[in-house]
Each structure stands twice: as structure tokens, then as C-alpha cells.
């Protein structure tokens, strides 16, 4: 995997004694932005995101969620449990205030920070983020590709059904190449996403997932189970600026999720773009998100 510019790594210990694998790039004296990648993920910074942070003078920070890679598992964690870990990382790195963005499975975690960390968060962005499972009026599974329907059927059946399925996917990722990712994700890729899953992005996605699953599927299972449980915070508690960006051609997280979030986050800046899918946001839109967050830093 291509190394991000000036990547710095840390091991941060949480107050309850767990270890988190942390990555940062960009200007260590610049405004901090926390990047939260999707599910599954090793939390490794994508090279173009780190490069953009470097060019903008941003201090870009990410870490491996509990149970992935070198980060200690946190059994039974909720989405809100990401928040104390965020505070622990920020404290360890000497960061007082920061912006945050999350993509896909990272979206709910970014919203948790916006809701629960008060003035420490200057602004937040949810990119192709899932909505709460029990969201009123939302058909949560409708519009997902077949692979996600199979995965979340197992999630709803419980850990005993979920873990064997995830182990099958883990085995596939152990050997798949970036070039083979289109076949692995065939039911999830709209035409615009299939077009963007080439070369650098595809190689990054494979290697990042592989790094996250190096020690097993615990992190992936805990992410999935947390999504369909109460998140541990209310969206109407968010008082900081929030950007909700959702592509209409998304088969990973259907556009209905973005529309629901847009309607339920107070004062959200909403972009529902017809030309985007899921991975196009990852591949192309993060520089625009960085600019949006910097404009609202205070």
C-alpha cells in the first residue's frame, strides 16, 4: 500500500487500559481533523486524503477502531463508545478542538462526536453514512446490494450467524487483489462506483481492509452489531455545523439513509448528488469536505 506523506503512528492507551493504533499526517501544528473510515477498516489514511491535508496545513488523524488490527477489542461497544476513545486520542496528541468526518460506517461515529463532545468539535461531516436502524419511516435495508442484505440478515440473526459469514469474507480479502475487487463487490457497485474502483483506490481498499482484519473479524462484527442497536445519543442533540453528503447511485448505503439524516440533523448542510455513488465520495469528495470543515473551524 502506498505510504501516506509524513505518516506518524502512535499507540494510545485509553482510560480503561485498551490500546488504539493511531495514524496522523499533515501539519502537526495545523487545525486537527479526525477521519473515520468505513466498515471494515484498518483506519489507515488514504494517500490522497493525507496529501490534501498536507497541502491545506491540516493535521489529519485516524485510528483503528477496537477489535481491528492492533487496537484492543471492546466487546459490546456502542456507536457512542467511540466518543471516549476520540477524547483519549485527542488528549494524547495534545489536540483541544477538532473537526471530524466519517464515511460509510464511519458516519455514525462522526455524528456521535458532534453530539457528545460539545465545544471540542468545531464541525462534522457524514459521507454516505448509515442512519439508525430503528429510524422512523425508513426502510433500512431497501436499496442495498445483495452482499449487504446477506450481511445484515446475519447481523440481525446474531453473532453466531454473523461471525462465520465475516470469516468467509476475511478469507476472500486475504487473497483478492485491487483488480479483483470489482468482482468481490459486484452486487454493491453502481456504474459510477465501478468506474472509480481502479488502481490506487482499489489497492488501498483491499490493503486497508486486510490490515483491519489481520487479527480476526471482531472489529467488523462489533461495528455491524452497534449499527443495529441504539446508538447512545440523539441526533437532535447536535449543535455544531454538520454536512450530510449522499450519492444517489449508492448501493452500499442507500440514498434514503442520507435523506433521513438530512431531515433529522438540525440545520444540516445537505448534498444529495445524482452523479455520486458510495466510493466516489471516498475517491473524489474528501478535499471538498476538508475545505468545508476548515471554513467552519473556530
What's the grid cell of residue 185? 463487490
Output the average pLDDT for the chain.
95
Parent domain of 244: 8-295
CATH number at residue 208: 3.40.50.1820
Q: For residue 200, tell me if it sits in a domain.
A: yes
Q: What is the pLDDT along the chain (298 residues), one digit of tens a residue?
A: 445 557 899 999 999 999 999 999 999 999 999 999 999 999 999 999 999 999 999 999 999 999 999 999 999 999 999 999 999 999 999 999 999 999 999 999 999 999 999 999 999 999 999 999 999 999 999 999 999 999 999 999 999 999 999 999 999 999 998 888 988 899 999 999 999 998 799 999 999 999 999 999 999 999 999 999 999 999 999 999 999 999 999 999 999 999 999 999 999 999 999 999 999 999 999 999 999 999 998 6
How does DSSP classify residue 281? Answer: I
Q: For residue 3, tell me if it sits in a domain.
A: no
Give 52-113 as a DSSP string. Answer: HHHHHT-EEEEEPPTTSTTSPP-TT--GGGHHHHHHHHHHHTT---EEEEEEGGGHHHHHHH
pTM of the predicted protein model: 0.96
Specify the number of domains making up the chain: 1
Q: For residue 2, tell me if it sits in a domain.
A: no
Amino acid at each position: 500500500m502506498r505510504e501516506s506523506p509524513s505518516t506518524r503512528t502512535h499507540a494510545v492507551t485509553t482510560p480503561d487500559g485498551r490500546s488504539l493504533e493511531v495514524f496522523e499526517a499533515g501539519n502537526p501544528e495545523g487545525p486537527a481533523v479526525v477521519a473515520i473510515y468505513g466498515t471494515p477498516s484498518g483506519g489507515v489514511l488514504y494517500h490522497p486524503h493525507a496529501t490534501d491535508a498536507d497541502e491545506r496545513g491540516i493535521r489529519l488523524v485516524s485510528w483503528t477502531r477496537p477489535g481491528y488490527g492492533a487496537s484492543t477489542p471492546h466487546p459490546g461497544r456502542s456507536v457512542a463508545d467511540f466518543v471516549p476513545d476520540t477524547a483519549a486520542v485527542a488528549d494524547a496528541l495534545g489536540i483541544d478542538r477538532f473537526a471530524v468526518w466519517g464515511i460509510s460506517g464511519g458516519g455514525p461515529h462522526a455524528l456521535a462526536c458532534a453530539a457528545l463532545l460539545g465545544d471540542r468539535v468545531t464541525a462534522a461531516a457524514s459521507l454516505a453514512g448509515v442512519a439508525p436502524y430503528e429510524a422512523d419511516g425508513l426502510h433500512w435495508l431497501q436499496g442495498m446490494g445483495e452482499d449487504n442484505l446477506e450481511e445484515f440478515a446475519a447481523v440481525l440473526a446474531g453473532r453466531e450467524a454473523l461471525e462465520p459469514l465475516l470469516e468467509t469474507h476475511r478469507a476472500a480479502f486475504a487473497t483478492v487483489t485491487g483488480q479483483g475487487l470489482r468482482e468481490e463487490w459486484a452486487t454493491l457497485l453502481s456504474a459510477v462506483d465501478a468506474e472509480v474502483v481502479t488502481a490506487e483506490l482499489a489497492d488501498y481498499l483491499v490493503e486497508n481492509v486486510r490490515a483491519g482484519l489481520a487479527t480476526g473479524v471482531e472489529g467488523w462484527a462489533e461495528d455491524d452489531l452497534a449499527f443495529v442497536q441504539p446508538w447512545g445519543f440523539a441526533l437532535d442533540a447536535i449543535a455544531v455545523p454538520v454536512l450530510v453528503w449522499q450519492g444517489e447511485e449508492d448501493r452500499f448505503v442507500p440514498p434514503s439513509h442520507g435523506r433521513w439524516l438530512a431531515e433529522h440533523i438540525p440545520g444540516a448542510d445537505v448534498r444529495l448528488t445524482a452523479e455520486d455513488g458510495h466510493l466516489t465520495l471516498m475517491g473524489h469528495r474528501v478535499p471538498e469536505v476538508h475545505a468545508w470543515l476548515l471554513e467552519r473551524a473556530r
